[in-house]
Amino acid sequence: MEEWTKLLSSSTALNTYHSFRDTGIYHVKVKAEDENGIQSEFSPSLRVRISNTNHPPDSPSNPLPEDDSFDIPIDVGIGWACSDLDIGDSLTYDVYFGISSSPDLVAEQHSVNNYDPGVLEYETAYYWKIVAWDTRDAYTEGPVWIFTTISDPNNAPDKPAIHGSTSGKPGLTYLYTFVSSDSDSDDVFYYIDWGDATFEEWVGPYSSGEEKSMSHTWITEGIYTIKAKAKDIHDAESDWTTISVNMPRNRAMQTPFLQFLEQYPIIYQLLQRFLRL
């Protein structure tokens, strides 16, 4: 029997250790004595089984992320629960992780029940398992678990920048450049509305940040609004960008034919589309 310990305050917990010399079942109980020699009753007994037989760890369980789960963030860490029947046995873990259904060993003698695999790939299934070891080299291999990461969040390209003349003369040809950047480095297409009922419908693809040059001619006077937008290869579209182009009347170029086109803009539009084929 243990001797009385040193005097402790009533609110202080006592930690003590004992080595059992023989195997068997022991019933441990405790009582307290105050400074006046008054003793308490014995506590309820705690049953302790001492055995030379070592038990392997329990099977690893309670995986995080949960088995067969989806839409898992790419910066997720994995975790699990595990215990051992033998009091005093500490556990270490071998961690297997990868995109194969037979995952590779990535950590040995890991001392905690969580692991950081680093930043993962989008839309990818990952397999993992844990092998638990006790201090006497008994081990238990857990099941293979699986989870799938989230889809890659696609971003629309930036509004295209438009560079070129903002004024000119009817009948002359003017060059414009269009450029848009995509934060995902996706290729982009351009839709251009010249403001005179003619269009360039999704020309491309072009690399993100690559300039696209196109020319255009306005036949009649007026103020035209060029509109352009970009879309990426996943069909995510940017907002419109606009600039105004002023084409004042050029008396020297007012031929009877151009005057006729001014009076019948629908014929002009059809003719312009025909000439661009």
Q: Give tens-digit pLDDT for 18-62.
A: 666 566 677 888 888 877 888 888 888 887 766 668 899 999 999
Q: Per DSSP, which regions of 10-122 are E strands?
A: 24-28, 46-50, 61-64, 69-72, 78-81, 92-98, 104-110, 114-115
How many residues does this entry show for the chain?
277
What are the chain's domains?
61-149 (2.60.40.10), 161-276 (2.60.40.10)
What's the token pair of residue 257? 């034919």
The closest alpha carbon to 246, from 186, 180, 169, belongs to: 169
C-beta atoms surrounding 55 within 10 Å: 14
The pTM of this model reads: 0.51
Mean pLDDT of 223-247: 96
C-beta atoms surrounding 97 within 10 Å: 20
Higher pLDDT, 167 or 269: 167
Interatomic CA distance for residues 219 and 231, integer angstroms: 29
Judge contact between 220 and 258, C-beta under 8 A.
yes
What's the token pair of residue 198? 């003619």
Alpha helices, DSSP H, located in 219-264: 256-263
Mean pLDDT of 177-189: 96
Q: How far is CA 56 from the centre of its chain?
A: 38
Weakest mean pLDDT among 60-74, 150-164, 208-222, 245-259: 245-259
